[in-house]
Structure 1
Amino acid sequence: MLKYPTIPSFVGKAGCQPNAYFYHPASATPSVIASSAANAADSSSFYRTNGIKPRRMASWWCVFEDLLWPEKSVVLKIQRRAESFAKAGIDTAIIFGFHCRFDFADYFDRLHGYLRNVAEELHKYGIKLMDHYTCNIVERPRSFEEVFELHRRHRHHVLLYPDPRARAHQQYEGVFFNDICEIDVRTGERSFAIPYTTESFCHNNPDFLEMHRRYLQRQLREIPLDGYQVDDMCMYAGTISCGCEHCRRRFKEEYGYEIPPYED
């Protein structure tokens, strides 16, 4: 039976640092884990210090049908792939596919069950598993043309965006997604990132940070992962965002001015 990791102290204080790799092997103490989070920019030194630098990494590519877990075909595929990774000499696998993570909020129990199954199977061969996901972007095509463009440009993701009528009701643990999105400074509406066909949660919004903190804690309880890359804590909509109340307040506090009009 695998021992689930202890929740690191840094998760209780903040949502997460962007693009940070946090390894928590069984030998790592909470203080070591917290230190690694505080110094995530120099992750290579943490790898060297703790002797866990990956030697051969590979993507564990996920597809839509994996959400059918625990269907027998999915479980058997996990077993076959883990064995093939071991035969190939891979020591670290990286989850890819379930990227826009909060698009899967209605299926976290099934998704976490799948990831737990993957981790446990890989651990039988001494292979570590890292999760890679975006904590703040959600796919939001606005037309059929954008739906087809999204599937053309981003079919490497598992695309599970909601029906347009359901979007206003999407939430996780009482936090409605529409209430935490970045705001277009020109219009006051939710900003939109054309390259990714996405809306984004604002990383200055305390409700988003708290929501992601709770999700990260849940992951640590439910999945015996060995590392994370929490991705995309930036403003893909560009200079039009963000004009939410939290960004405006922070801009005023740090610079002494109001956010100027976009035309300025």
Structure 2
Amino acid sequence: MTKSLKKYLLLIATIILSVTLAACSTGASVEQIVNKSVESSKNIKSTDFVATNSSEILVGEQTQTVENTVSGSLIIDPLAIKATTDVKAQGQSQTLELYIKDGTAYAKSTGQDEWVKSSSSSITAQFENLKKIANSEQILEFYKKIAKDFKKTEENGNYVLTYTGSGDQFKDLMVAIANTSSGNEVNASAFNNVDFKNVTIKLVVTKDYTPVTNEVNMELATKNTSTPTTMKIKQNIQYSNVNNVKEINLPDEVKNAKEVAADTQKSE
């Protein structure tokens, strides 16, 4: 569609993946987490959400900080999304409003007077693919592998699952995601130059396994490269109105959006 839209699609796509992974991380005991994952993920049909993300990227001696907030509503099947994304980077800010419904993406960003739309399959396919990733057998196997490393407590009547440690084993998760998203076999060696230094995860769910919050902090660094790069990522997702979002309606101004030309959709 446009550069900004394609960039922010990824931010919102993260919500789809995180909703299902939060479902994969519930259960009366840590050992039962993955055994309940498939059924739990099937039961999550819709939600309202607020996601805050921040990343600090250090390349050599230069630091770049990016902060974004994504809020809105999501229906898993058939896929429908209403989201507002606010991004702050390098002293500038930008807002993107986005709808996806009936296989069409509608967007309006800072500086635009009118809504634009695209029915390009390359836009909506990114989200459909995320649903496949979230239900991947390889990813479920990964969570089985690390289930014993989570600790469970209770807080305000909810289950709290936490993980803290080095992130070396998260290379397996990256391989699983890459395999599912590409449809091809990806070797773990593709991530040999990535060091998952520190990872902390906090998942809060109700006693009936409904996700409440999902927090992830991660530090990544490149290895064996001429220009050392370090990235610190923080993400917090809050869920509400789970399974009670029945419909996402398009306002009239969105319905009247202009179709974006095909050659514009291809721009990166």
Which interval holds the TM-score relative to the shorter structure?
A: under 0.3
TM-score normalised by length of structure 1: 0.26
TM-score normalised by length of structure 2: 0.25
Higher share in helix: 1
Higher share in strand: 2
